[in-house]
Structures are given as C-alpha cells and as structure tokens.
Structure 1
Amino acid sequence: MIIFTLITNLWMFRAASIYLGSKSSSISYTCYTCATTQVFPFLNKCVVYIMHVLKRGVDLYVWRNIHLIKGRLFLFLMLFILSVMLFVMNQFPYATVGVILIPLAYVLGIYTYRKYLLWVSGVLGEDMVTKELEKLDDSYYLINGVVIPPNRGDTDHIVIGPNGIFVIESKNYGGEIECDGDSWIRYKIGKKGKRYELWIGSPSNQVKRNAKVLKDFILEHGNEIFDREIPHIWVHGILVFTNENVSVSVKNQTVDILRIEELSDYIENKTPELELREEEVRKIGRVIMKYSK
C-alpha cells in the first residue's frame, strides 16, 4: 500500500510539473502588454486590462531540489523492494541483509517523501498566489521567484504599482499557527491525537528581510529609475497563507498577514506613502529583471 501511494503521488506530481513547467518555460521573462477583451452582442463594449507579468514560474533552484528529492525517493523505493525480495528468499545471509535493510529503506523513504511533499506544497501555493495577483490591472507589474542581490534565497513575488512596492511571501501551511511578533509556532495533530509543535522559523522576519534588501537595491539603482531626486521608498512586506485548512492566531504582528483571497484587493486599495509615476513603475521592474538572478 505504501509503495502504491508513493508511485501514485510521484506520477501525479510529474503531471503537475509538466503543466507548471510548460507555463514557466513558455512565458518566463516575458512582459505582457495590455490585453483587451471585447464583448459586442447586446452589451456595451467591455475592456479588461491585465497586469504585466515580467517573470512567471517557479525558481530553477526549487525545481532542482524537487527533482533531486524525487531521485532519492526512487532510490529508496528500489532499495525497499530489493530488501523485501532478499527477505522473501529466506536464505542466509540474504534474509538477514533484507531484515536490516527493510526498516532502513522504509524510514529513509518516509522522511524523503515528507520532504518532497513540503516542496511540492510550496510550489502549488506560489502558483495560487500568482493567479490571485493577476486580477490586478495593467498599472501593476509582477515578478515571481527572483533573487535580489545580495540575497541567496529567492523572493516569492514582487508587485510594483502606482501605489507602492510589495514583497510577498506565500506559505501553504496547514493546521494551527500562532504568531506573537516575530515568534511563530505551528501545531499539528498526530495519528494518536497528540498535539505537537513544528518549527517553521520566522516567516515575518523572512519577508521583512526581503523587503529591506529590495528597498536597498532600488535606492542603489535609483539613478536608473528616477528622473527626479531619489525619493524615500517604502517596500511593504506581506505574508500570505494559501491553505484553506490553516488557522492563524496573530498578536503584535510586524507585517501584513493575509489569506490568499484578500491579497489583490488589499494591494489595489493600499493608500500610497509615495505615488510612483507610470515610467518609474516600469523602470523599477526593468532594473530588477536586469540585475537579479
């Protein structure tokens, strides 16, 4: 049953990776211009303006890790099958070797499989956020999965618009989560009904750090962006939970914490500290794409 579950999930993700990968490769680093949809019969003309997407898709680093974990999972699965075959032979010393290898392959396989599910969950969560952000109009620019120097890790999403710059980190966690300032605890219920804690670091510190790096990056390249005196820049950090089965309790929050269905409206209605001109919005996106990884 375990082997069947592993193979089924691998097959399902393979199909998903082909789907997501094809979207990423076909339009990565492509800037969408304003698109229009016209409805003529019996109605007034309806025009829909779609936001600009400068980069879509999952970061290459993420895909490499997912495929690396899939490879390890396949090896442990083969080791488990081989161990069972040795044990079934019931001949010394093969049966003894099988007895030793079966639990080892099982434990390593389960550990790797759980790690694999975490990575896949993150990919699906980021894709959900991208779809939600595409509800914004064409005055906004979206960049996904980009590494801003000197950062080594990627920023999930950057939105640039006339009312501000937004750094968004998506989390596809399920279960119960408690936040007090920058301290985070995630709780899950085990098979025996026991409640236990999972370490998730500090997502709020992560998004604040990425926002600070982006702000410094924009100021560093300010002469390429602004025709006026370089203004004081605000970069808003947003933490988005994409899993509908998550319960988040927050005290003393240090960043904006939203559910995915609130995201596009929140950005659109955000009161700007500094209004960016249309050309400045475009140049910020261009500079990020030029110097980022």
Structure 2
Amino acid sequence: MAYLICENCNHYWQIKSEEEFWVFHTCDECGSPLLYVKNFNEYRKITKDVPESSRKTQNQGKADNYWRSWRGGHLILIAGALMAAAGILLTVTGTAWGITPVLLGIIFMALSVPLGRASARRGIGWKKGYEDELIVTNCLRRLPQGYHILNNVQLPGADGHMDHVVVGPTGVYVIETKSYSGNYIVKGDRWFLNDELRKEEVRSPSIQAKRNAAAIKEFLETRDIYVSWVNAVVAFLSASCTIMEEDEHCRILKPCQVPEHIMESRLMLGESKVKRIVDALRKHASEVW
C-alpha cells in the first residue's frame, strides 16, 4: 500500500495503485498537490520540502492567461447584456437612439461566447499540462539528498521548454511528461495509438526527449562542462502503454518509477560537477528543488 500526503493540511490517504495518484493528485480540503510515497518511512527521508527558487512554469502561465481571457469574455457578455437591456428600456421610453446600445450589446454578446469557449478549452489543456508536471515533480521529490530537480527548463534560443531536468551523482536526466489518453504501442521511437475507433501513428515523445537530452549536452559543452551522456526519459501518465521494442536511449516509465530508475544507475558525477551543471541551468529553469 502507498500513501498520498497533503503537506499543507497534514491529511493523508492510503491508495492501492499509482494510477490512483494520477486521478487524486490534489487535496480535497485545500487543493494543494499531494505527495506520493510508498510508506511513511520513505516520507521521513524526503529532504526536498520547498523549492530553492520558483516562478511560474510555461504551462502554469499559459493556463492563467487563458483563464483571464475567459473571465474577460464573461465580463464582455455581462456588459453586452446590460447594454442591450438599457437600450431596450430607452427604446420603450421613446428615446430615438435607444436601438444603438441594443445592437452594440448584441454584438458584444455574440463576440464574447466564442472567445469564452476557446479560452476555457485552451486554459483547461494548459492547466492539465501543469498538473501533470506537478505529479512528476512530487514523484521526483523522493530522490535523496544530492539530487537537484529543475522544472520547465528553457535554454537560450530554444523554441520549447523541457519539463524536468534532474542532476545528481548518477548523471543528468531529461524527463518529458506525457499524458496521452487511449492505448499506445511503442516500437523504438515510433508511437501508435491503438484504440477501437482510431489506429494511427502519433508524434513520438521519445524523439522529443532525446532531442532535449542532446540539447542539454550541447548547452553544457558551451559552458566547458562535459558529460559523457544525458539520459532521456518519458514519464507516461497513462494506464495502457505496450512497449514492443525497448529503446536503450530513452526509457518509458510511470512517474513513480522514475526516481528508482535514476538512483539505480551507476555513479557518474562528483559533487563539484553536479554543482557546476546545476548553476549553469539554474537561471533557465522556472523552479529548482
């Protein structure tokens, strides 16, 4: 049996499987993200209580922006309704220009509906991405002292961001978080959706993770920091993923399997080199644990 712990209000829940963590990843009482641990002894050993530095991640910022747009659309809808109502009242009382606010109100309401729907839909998508990253972060917190977690890393000149980078004694790891719905078959770098209604090849998270790993290696070399290898990992938040051909250069794991994978690797980096790598990446990360 494993446990989900709310560190904000000191509540905890016993769960049977990791899949329950993906569903119930926030506290019912306060809304704070829950921490997954295998047992209470493991929780006592967790050293990463608060991040060293933190600012909004890209997913969190995008979600907030779209929710602001949704609220703006809602206000426009209310303003349009009030304007139309005022215009109708003026028209009834015989005011010649009363039809103008009626027409303007109708236009405002017509524009606000698609704006609100599009903003809400996109905001939900970005919020889901941010919540998925929280799940993986709370799994990575189980790593012992000496490991550093950098979230939402965006290197200079890069178009996108890297969900998580872990640096520690066993090396450097780039972790791509994905939560595709449906059943998937993975053959090396190729990912196939295998549902009853749809069977098609989809964009490969493995390729994305390996590209990000190569980008980290190249970036560190520009800072005269050389590592023999940067590991690529896909943290896949789905109950169904059949791996037909294992890719030795990119592991596909459930989020709570990632810490064990990192700790089981052989030692590669000394403490001073770990510090140099973290210092080089720190200012490009939204959050550092």
Any conservation in 2 of the 1:149–1:292 contact (CA below 8 Å)? Answer: no
Task: Tell me what 2:142 maps to.
Answer: 135
The 1:48/1:65 distance shift into structure 2, 3 A limit, reads closer
Residues 222-273 of structure 1: CA deviation (Å, up to 9, x unaligned): 3xx5xxxx5x51111111123x6x4334444542111112111111112x3x
1:163 match: 170
Q: Tell me the SS of whatever aligns to 1:78.
A: helix
1:285 Cα offset (Å): 1.3
**1:283 equivalent among 270, 276, 282:** 276
Task: Please state if 1:73 is matched with 2:83.
Answer: no
Contact 1:55–1:143 (CA<8 Å) still a contact in 2? Answer: no
The answer to whether 1:248 aligns with 2:241 is: yes
Contact 1:155 1:167 in 2 (8 A): yes
**Preserved contact between residue 58 and residue 123 of structure 1 (Cα < 8 Å):** no
Matches of 1:159 and 1:219 in 2, distance apart?
17
Counterpart secondary structure, 1:145: strand
**What secondary structure is seen at the aligned counterpart in 2 of 1:156?**
strand
Cα distance change, pair 63–291 in 1 and its aligned pair in 2 (3 A): closer
Q: What's 2:21 paired with?
A: none
SS in 2 for 1:265: helix
Q: 1:278 to 1:79 in 2, by over 3 A?
A: same
Letter matched to residue 74 of structure 1:
R
CA 1:292–1:132: 2 relative to 1, 3 Å: closer
1:237 pairs, out of 232, 241, 245, with 232
2:114 to 107, 127, 135: 107
Distance in 2 between residues matched to 1:236 and 1:263, nearest whole Å: 12
Query: Is the aligned partner of 1:147 residue 2:154?
Result: yes
Worse-superposed segment, 112-121 or 62-71: 62-71
How far did residue 48 of structure 1 move?
3.3
TM-score normalised by structure 2 residue count: 0.64
1:143-292 matched pairs, under 5 angstroms:
143-184=150-191, 195=197, 201-222=203-224, 225=225, 233-242=228-237, 246-252=239-245, 254=247, 255-270=250-265, 272=266, 275-289=268-282
Report the alpha carbon displacement of residue 106 of structure 1 after superposing the two structures with TM.
Answer: 3.0
Gaps spanning 5+ residues in structure 1: where?
Answer: 1-14, 21-38, 40-46, 189-193
1:148 CA drift (Å):
2.1
Aligned residues: 237
- Cα deviation per residue 1:94-144 (whole Å; 9 max; x = unaligned)? 777777765654333222211101111111111121111111111322212
* Distance in 2 of aligned mates of 1:284 and 1:200: 33
The RMSD of aligned alpha carbons is: 4.0
Q: Measure the CA separation in 1 of the matches of 2:219 and 2:51.
A: 18
Q: Distance in 2 between matches of 1:253 and 1:277?
A: 30
CA contact (8 A) 2:81 2:105 kept: yes
TM-score, reference length from structure 1: 0.64
- Residue 289 (structure 1) shift: 2.3
Amino acid paired to 2:215: V
Give identity over the alignment, percent.
25
